[in-house]
């Protein structure tokens, strides 16, 4: 039972009851011969004065009547409240929207409100779908899309970095390793320590370069599903970086544009971990719920102050936030210094129905 609703009804009924008794007593005072106000104070019933009985009767009847009404309206009230809360959470396809009040009371006049909430839900679902379609649609600049122009420039920069800076870092590491192996540490321990520091700096620079190349690599999944794209990315990184990787991925059926955005978000989060977290373990999870895609990326790195990062306007986090908002979802980052980081992305979606003909073709090819 909703105690707040009962209390409001109770106060209202007490006020109405006292006003009603006051009006009755006023009529008696003016129109009933011999009636006096002192009668309420002097008259005793079971050693209790009459005015106390009247006040107690009003309170008791008000409490019982308010309890009856609040219980009668409780089911409808709680259902409406639950629907509104699920709408605020973005769970537009939750089973509660298919529920109806089992027992409607005589006092229940909220059917119109329930219908309005259902219409609002349908409108929000359509707006979310339109937003995702708009976000996934290409933006043309001349004969090329905006995404194609950006990807070409990213590929060009990544290629130049790989052919120049990355190769030079690799050559420097090889030369330094050769010097270290041929040099006797006992002859000059201080120089040996300096060489190890230089080797560590070059190693960190190589990791930074790999993270930067990951950030610049094309976002196109090239016909792969989101699960396949993330798996290929993690398998590739597993051979190149000193980081323990763990992943568990569902295989949702999404529009290509939405998959590209989600894949880019995963790339961005992993790149941030490689460049800034100094982590030893990274976990990636992809979950398909009833109406939500959830991506969770967890690392055990140095962490950071999320509020300070938002104030400084971190480009990586801002880019991820814009992509998630463009799909009607939400981004949550949980982190603190020396406590690791958890990045959670939740995006509403409606599963794509694959035609039976395509399914049969896939089975034949398999």
Residues 149, 115 share a domain? no
- Assess whether 248 and 160 both reside in one domain: no
Answer yes or no: is 366 within a domain.
no
Query: What tens digit of pLDDT does each residue of 149-173 get?
Result: 666 676 677 666 666 676 777 777 7
Do 212 and 278 lie in one domain? The reply is no
CA distances from 77 to 72, 80, 100, 227 (A): 10, 5, 12, 42
Q: How many domains does the chain have?
A: 3
- What is the DSSP secondary-structure string of 299-346? E-S----HHHHHHHT-HHHHHHHHHHHHTT-EEEEEE-TTS-EEEEEE
| 108 and 30 housed in the same domain | yes
Residue 360 forms part of a structural domain: no
Answer yes or no: are the C-beta atoms of 266 and 233 closer than 8 Å.
yes
146 and 78 together in one domain:
no
Query: In the chain, how long is the greatest CA-to-CA distance?
Result: 125
Q: Are residues 214 and 267 in the same domain?
A: no
Give CA–CA dist 270/282, Å, rounded: 8
Q: What pLDDT, on a 0 to 100 scale, did the predictor assign at position 356?
A: 47
User: CA–CA separation, 62 vs 12, rounded Å?
Assistant: 8
**Residue 361, domain member (yes or no):** no
Single pTM value for the model = 0.52
Residue span of the structural domain in which 202 resides: 140-218
Average pLDDT over residues 238-254: 85
- Does residue 362 fall inside a structural domain? no
Residues 184 and 266 both lie in one domain: no
What 278-282 contacts at long range (C-beta under 8 Å, 24+ apart), as own/partner pairs, is 278/302, 279/243, 279/340, 280/243, 280/244, 281/243, 281/244, 281/245, 281/246, 282/243, 282/244, 282/245, 282/246
Q: 202 forms bridges with which residues in the sheet?
A: none
Q: At which of 134, 168, 197 does a domain end?
A: 134
| CATH code where residue 343 lies | 3.30.565.10
What is the rounded average pLDDT for all residues in the chain?
Answer: 75
Lowest-confidence region among 92-96, 106-110, 122-126, 233-237: 106-110
What per-residue confidence (pLDDT) applies to 365? 46
Q: Taking the chain, what is the end-to-end CA distance rounded to the nearest angstrom?
A: 57
Residue 231 in any domain: the answer is no
């Amino acid at each position: 039972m909703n105690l707040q609703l009962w209390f409001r009804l109770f106060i209202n009924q007490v006020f109405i009851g006292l006003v009603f008794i006051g009006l009755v007593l006023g009529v008696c005072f003016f129109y009933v011969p011999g009636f006096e106000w002192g009668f309420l104070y002097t008259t005793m019933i079971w050693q209790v004065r009459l005015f106390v009985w009247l006040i107690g009767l009003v309170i008791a009847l008000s409490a019982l009547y308010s309890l009856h009404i609040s219980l009668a309206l409780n089911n409808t009230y709680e259902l409406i409240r639950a629907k509104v809360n699920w709408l605020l959470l973005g769970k537009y396809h939750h089973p509660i929207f298919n529920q109806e009040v089992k027992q409607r009371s005589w006092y229940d006049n909220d059917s119109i409100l329930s219908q309005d909430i259902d219409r609002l839900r349908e409108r929000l679902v359509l707006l979310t779908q339109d937003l995702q379609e708009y976000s996934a649609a290409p933006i043309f600049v001349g004969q090329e899309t905006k995404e194609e122009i950006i990807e070409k420039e990213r590929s060009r920069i990544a290629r130049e970095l790989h052919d120049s800076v990355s190769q030079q870092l690799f050559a420097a590491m090889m030369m330094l390793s050769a010097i270290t192996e041929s040099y006797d540490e006992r002859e000059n321990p201080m120089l040996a320590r300096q060489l190890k520091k230089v080797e560590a700096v070059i190693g960190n620079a190589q990791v930074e370069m790999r993270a930067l190349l990951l950030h610049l690599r094309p976002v196109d999944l090239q016909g792969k599903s989101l699960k396949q794209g993330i798996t290929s990315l993690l398998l590739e990184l597993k051979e190149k970086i000193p980081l323990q990787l763990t992943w568990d991925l569902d295989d949702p059926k999404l529009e290509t544009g939405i998959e590209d955005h989600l894949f880019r978000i995963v790339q961005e989060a992993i790149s941030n971990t490689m460049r800034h977290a100094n982590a030893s373990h990274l976990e990636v999870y992809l979950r398909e719920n009833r109406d939500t895609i959830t991506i969770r990326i967890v690392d055990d790195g140095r962490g950071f102050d999320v509020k300070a990062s938002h104030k400084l306007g971190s480009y990586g986090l801002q880019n991820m936030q814009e992509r998630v908002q463009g799909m009607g979802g939400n981004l949550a980052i949980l982190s603190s210094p020396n406590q690791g980081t958890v990045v959670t992305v939740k995006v509403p979606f409606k599963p794509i129905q694959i035609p039976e003909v395509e399914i049969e073709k896939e089975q034949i090819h398999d």
